[in-house]
Each structure stands twice: as structure tokens, then as C-alpha cells.
Structure 1
Amino acid sequence: MLKRWLTALAWMLCAAWAHAEALVSPPPLNNSNTGIMFDVTALTDVTITGFTAAMINNTTTVGTHTFGILTRAGTHIGSESTPAAWTPLGSTTFTLNPGQQNSSFDFPMAVAVPAGGTQAFYLTAAASVNFRYNYRSAAPAALGSVTVADPNLALRNGSGVTNFGAPIVARAFVGTIVYRTTATLPDTVTAIAGTPQSATVSTAFAAALAVRVTGSGGVPLPGVTVTFAAPGAGASAALGAGTCVTDGMGECSV
């Protein structure tokens, strides 16, 4: 009976979050810096929950690197060299192989941006690692011009900035901005581990129940709260934890 309950559970994960989307800023990649500042303008109420960035490890060895994430309300223009104008969101650490690759950030905290509002972000790394970006030599090339947009969010051309130094202007962030809207439609939730399995009643399952959440185009969605719920009829049981929050790969488990 418990095995039947667990199998059903995989199909009854609650979509208890706002609808998540991803704004993709495509290549070319033709320049890089240890830091990049850029603005986003919300066209509807959104909450920024994560990034995937094009990175390059300039060393010849695999290394663990820490990246800082800062933000400010309004544009970054005029505040490139003023650390006090920025609020640190925290840092994230992950391993990079030598050379270029795309890396997902585990966002330390979500940032809400109301419709019509502009929010600036600063991604910064150590000297041995660079953020790859697009040197804007073709229209729209101006600093602050819209790089790419969807119905909810617009990304604007930013600046390459090292340690709050002099900005190198009109550089476009290349990567993905993951955000949530206030819609209630669910994204795709896939059970990836822990089902089916069975256990004696009142005994813990041997393996964790794990899921993956993806949004538009199959993009993994970090920072999404997933609620696990048992069917309303049939065999049932209690979980040690009823919710989990997805990581940078869009995965979590209970």
C-alpha cells in the first residue's frame, strides 16, 4: 500500500509557486571582465531568482571560485564606482573547469521588481575568472539600450567593471535571467529519484524523493518552493519535510 502511495505522490506535487520564466540573452561572446553591471526593467511585477552566466576560467586547472552578487534599485549608471550605493545579496561558490562554460548561480535571495521599475545587478569574480559578454558594436549599442526583452522583463546594455573601477560601457550580459511572475500556472515538475519505493509503515524511506523543476525551453529554475502532498484517498503517510527549494540545477529533495 505504501508503495502505491509513493508512486501516486510523484504525480501530485503541488505547483505552489508563482510561474517561473527565463529571459535569454544570446551570444556572440567577444569580450570579458571580472565583473559586469547591468539593469533590468520589469514590464510586469517580477521577482528575479537566479542567473546562468557565460564564464571563463583563465587558469589551466579545475578550481573552486566564489562570486559576489550585488544589487541596487534603479540604474547602475552613475554608481559604477560607489560601493556604498550597492546592497550585497551574498555570494555563491562553484567549481569551474579550465576554459569557457555556462554556470548557474544559486541565488542567495530573490529580488522583487515592480512593473515599471528598474533594478541593477553587479556580478563580480576573482581575477582568475571572467564573465564573458557581448561588446556592443552593432545596434542597439548604446549603454542602457534594451539588449533583449520578453513580455515581462527587459535586459539593458551594461558595463564591464572590475572592483568598482572605471566602467567599460555598452557591454551586454550574455546568459539567462530566471524570474517569477504572479501567474499561477505550474512549470514542469519531474520526479528524478525516490519513486517507486516501499517501506514498512512508520519507517523512513531508504531514498530521498527528488524532483527537477524547469521553465520555458527546459531551463532549470532555482529558488522554487516545491510542496509534496499525498493523495486524498488511499494509503498515506507523513514525510519528514513537506517542502524543498530548488538549487541552481532546478532540483531539490525531501
Structure 2
Amino acid sequence: MNKFFACLIALCIVTGAATGQQQVLTTTFAGGNGQMGNCFDIAATGGSDVTICGFDCSPLASGTFDIEVYTHTAAGSYAGSQNIPANWTLAGSATGIPGTVGTPMPTTISLAVVIPAGQTQGFYVTFTNGNVAYTNGTNLGGVYASDSNISFYEGTGHSYPFGSNFAPRIFNGNINYTVGTGGCAAPPPPPWQTNSAISSLDVGGTQGSAFSGAVSQACQGGLMNLNSLSTAGTMTDIAVTLAPHGPSMLGSNANNTVNIDIFDPSFFSFNGGTPNFAGLLRMVAHPGVFVFPIPTATPLVGSAQQVALDASNGDGYTLSQAPQANVTAGGLLTYAHADDGFIVQLINQLPLCGGTYTEFYGATFGDICSQSNGWASFGAGSTDFSATAAEWQAAGEGRFGLGSDLEPNNYGTVTLAVNGPAMSGDPGASMLTMSYSNITEWGTGGLGVTSYDLIFNGPQGNEIANFTTDGTWSAQAVVVGMSKGASGTHPALVSFDSLSGAGPQAGSVNDSWLEENPTGMIPNVTGFSNISWPTTFGDMCIVN
């Protein structure tokens, strides 16, 4: 029974990879876009020949797929051949392969493609009946991922076969390879243990995979349950640490993968009492199913892995997956905006936590919508990329911030944070900050760099704060300000530059305050950086 720790005592962990042993270079699994296939280059940049053994990829939508892998027939980069089928050799194909979004999907196609030291080889990995996931790149032909042996380069996306070009695009997946030309040994065991009927553990029902550990999150004070299953009567215990889990930790072997750090000082036995297994755990008969509420009164990170005695396993026991539980007091939401898209976020749910609602023109909202084109809205979102004051005045929802055709899907970041209780307006509301940082004008390749914060119920009321732009804005129309939409009142447009430093400006409670420039960025000769509505209504505006 002590095989669980025998490897640990013997220090049987491989710290380096010998020739013939498969290694893995991961590009990314960030997704965000997709097409039927990817072309890309791999180079042997470590001074030795390498052999490419196969790929794991990722689908844009879960399903079952047919896959083909091609190699560029001539040595060197595929560049210039992406639309010429005659320049490629079919290296292998597979049908009926299941795949899940965001999870490595083995193509099951065994390759043995040798890349001589210092040389480059082009590949084309494609579905024939669906779309692979890929990520928009920034530097076609540039190195995106590398290790001491190989380099992977940003490539192109294509319809099937060898069709339309989308560039630059980053293949999402794992590159499985060996050093040398001795062929491909069996790949290492998957890095994550999965659940089975005899040993199953999860937090809130979250299941991992052989390539991805299960992580569950809850807000401080929320509900979070540990669920344990086994065959009734099976002897089990749960090893627990107040530390993160990890792939293939010390003690893993071909029969079981250990995914918690059993040497962490916080390690303890769930059953407690005098150990009767490996000197650390106390095995007792499992009832078949039990649920344990995880304490969430304070923030924590913890992981656990169940051990079940199992005579059918060569080790004499079977491990469960190792779920990780994160209890947080709240954090920062970073939006993954698509072009001309919007994302709605509940204020009192992960990853924010601790929020209640926000206030806009006296109405309260439990959620807030971030627009990729620069503004926050309430009650609805919009995919419109045009920017006119008339649209803001007639909208069915309130709008706040800057409106233009922006490109946060490629440049800059957009975030949302709960900053605590309201400091103005409704005392039951929460102060929120939605930050647009280094966003750019669409279609300019990164020009028109602009940043600002949208603050709700802050010390200055509702505020467009810390506004800066780098002076390279071109011709996209811009609208800036605050509007209640169709339910508000709409006086004449203003010049915030003219109002800068002039003190409080009076209006009516439901007034909009908008400036529009149909041919570019709004003027800012005075260098103002903050536009505030201290009461959170339209009855007062201050620019400084």
C-alpha cells in the first residue's frame, strides 16, 4: 500500500528529457477566433535535430471532428504555399475525434517528421468538418512560443482546404516532439488525474480533464461544496492542502497522477486520527456519496485528492482528480472583447464579488455592460460601431463614456473592478471603475492610443477620469459624455474643452451631456482629464 509514496522516497522524478522521450511545447489555448485550419512553421533552434510526433489542437466549438495534417513538401517555411495544395503532402488523417472548447484535443495522428538542426518545416493542421480555435496574432512569421529545442511561429488561418487567408493567426495546441532522429517514444502520461467510479472528487460539480485541472471559485461568504463519491464500503481518505494543485507532481506514475503537493506544510488527512496508510492517511469505509461544505468565511486556496483502495489498480489504490477551490474577496475582471461586441457582468458575482448594484440617473442596476467601442451601458448592449450624439440620445439604454470604432480585441485592455461601497449617490450602491487602457482607433494598426476610467458612485459622483489620448487619432467619429438615452432630456451639445476650469455647470436632472466630433477625436486644447457629474444625475457637470 505504500507505493503511493515509494517513488517520493526514491526521488523517482525525471528532471530532464533524453533523446527519444517525447516533450511538449504549448502555444496557447486562449482561443478568441477560429477557422477550419492553421498553417504555421516550426524550426529546430536548439542545435539538434528534432522529430515532430504529433499535435494536440482545440476546437472553436465542442463536437466530433475529422482532422488532416499536412507537411510542406519542400524544406523551409510554408510562406507563399498556403493556397497551393500541390506544395503539400498529407501526413495523416483521423475521423470522429471528440473535442471540447479550451481543452487540448489529441489529433491521434502519429507523425515522425524530422526537422534538421537549424532548419524550418511548415505544417497545416485542419478540420474538414468544423473550425479549430486560434488566437489573433500580432507578428506574422514571428516567434510566439519556444523552448530549448524548437520555436513556433505565428501563422495563418484558412478555410478548407488551403482556402482564404487570415493573418496573423496563432495555432492553439501542443506540439509533441522528440530530440534527435530516433523516432517517437510513447508520450508521457497525461499530467492530470481524472475521476473514476471508485474515486471521484469535485467542488461544485466542476470536472477537469487529463490535460486540465478542475478549478472552482466562490466569493467570500458564498456557497461551495466538496463532493466525494466511491463504491460504498471502499476504504478511502482525502489528502488536503491549503495550496494550489499542479500537473504531474512528485509521486506520479503510469497508474496514478498526483496533483497535490503532499510535502506542503498545510497537508492534512480529511478523516484525521491515527494514520493507517503510508503513515499519512487514515482510510475508512466510504458511504458511497457525501457532501462537505467548504468554509468560505475568509479567502483561501486549497486542493484535495481522494485515495481509494483498489485491487484492480497496479498500485493497489486509485486517485481521484485534484480539484482546486479558490475563495476570493473579489478581484479584477479583464474583458475579452470581440470587435464591435459587448459583455454584461453581474456586479455581485465572480470574479468581482462584494458588489451590490450601481446607480445611473437614479435607477439601480445589478449588472453593467461594457462595450468594445468604448462606453458602459445599462439595460442593453449594442454592436453598433458608428458614433453620433443622436444615437446616444435615442438609445433604449443609458450610455456613459466614449463612443467610437475601437479595437480592444487587438490593442489595449478593458477591466472592471468593485471599489467598495458608494462614495456618492445611493448609499446602498457600490463604487465601480471600468477602465479602458491603451485602446486604439480601429483599422490604424495601433494608432490613436487612448485611456480613461469610467467611475460610478465615486468620490466625484459619476466620472470620466484620467482621460488621455496620444495625438495620433485619425478620422473615426467620436462621442464623449453621459446620456440617459430615449428617456432623458437632451439640450444642445457641449464642448468639454470650453467648460474646462469653468466650475460647476448647471443642468436638469435627466439631461444628457454630450460632445461629438464626426471627423476625429474631441478637441482638448486645455488638457482636461476629468469630466464629473457629482450628483450622479445630469443636473451638474464639472470639467477639469
* Corresponding residue of 1:181: 179
Matching residue within 150, 154, 171 for 1:153: 150
Gaps of 5+ in 2: 1-16, 191-246, 249-544
Q: Matches of 1:83 and 1:76 in 2, distance apart?
A: 11
Greater Cα shift, 152-161 or 21-30: 21-30
* Corresponding residue of 1:34: 36
CA distance 1:159–1:179, change in 2 (3 Å): same
Q: Matches of 2:187 and 2:55 in 1, distance apart?
A: 18
* Corresponding residue of 2:55: 51
Per-residue deviation, 1:99: 5.2
Paired residues of 1:57 and 1:96 also in contact (CA < 8 A): no
Q: Matches of 1:42 and 1:85 in 2, distance apart?
A: 21
Larger Rg: 2
* Corresponding residue of 2:164: 166
Paired residues of 1:19 and 1:182 also in contact (CA < 8 A): no
**Matched residue count:** 172
* Corresponding residue of 2:120: 118
User: TM-score scaled by structure 1?
Assistant: 0.59
Paired residues of 1:53 and 1:175 also in contact (CA < 8 A): yes
The amino acid across from 1:55 in the alignment is P
- Specify which structure has the bigger relative contact order, considering alpha-carbon pairs within 8 angstroms and separated by 6 or more residues: 1
Q: Deviations over 1:82-127 (max 9, x none)?
A: 0000011120123326755421122243100011110011011124
Q: Matches of 1:21 and 1:121 in 2, distance apart?
A: 18
Gaps of 5+ in 1: 1-14, 191-216, 219-254
By percentage of residues, which structure has more strand?
1
Q: Matches of 1:71 and 1:82 in 2, distance apart?
A: 12
Root mean square deviation, CA, Å? 3.3
CA distance 1:17–1:142, change in 2 (3 Å): closer
CA distance 1:92–1:75, change in 2 (3 Å): same
Greater Cα shift, 158-167 or 34-43: 158-167
Per-residue deviation, 1:66: 1.5
* Corresponding residue of 1:69: 69
Q: Matches of 1:151 and 1:125 in 2, distance apart?
A: 30
Q: Matches of 1:107 and 1:48 in 2, distance apart?
A: 11
Q: Matches of 1:116 and 1:105 in 2, distance apart?
A: 27
Per-residue deviation, 1:182: 3.0
Percent of aligned pairs with the same amino acid: 31
Q: What pairs with 1:196-211 in structure 2 (closer than 5 Å)?
A: none
Paired residues of 2:19 and 2:179 also in contact (CA < 8 A): no
CA distance 1:83–1:187, change in 2 (3 Å): closer
Q: Matches of 2:103 and 2:176 in 1, distance apart?
A: 18
Q: SS state of the match for residue 84, structure 1?
A: helix
Q: Matches of 1:32 and 1:119 in 2, distance apart?
A: 23
CA distance 1:118–1:94, change in 2 (3 Å): same
* Corresponding residue of 1:86: 88
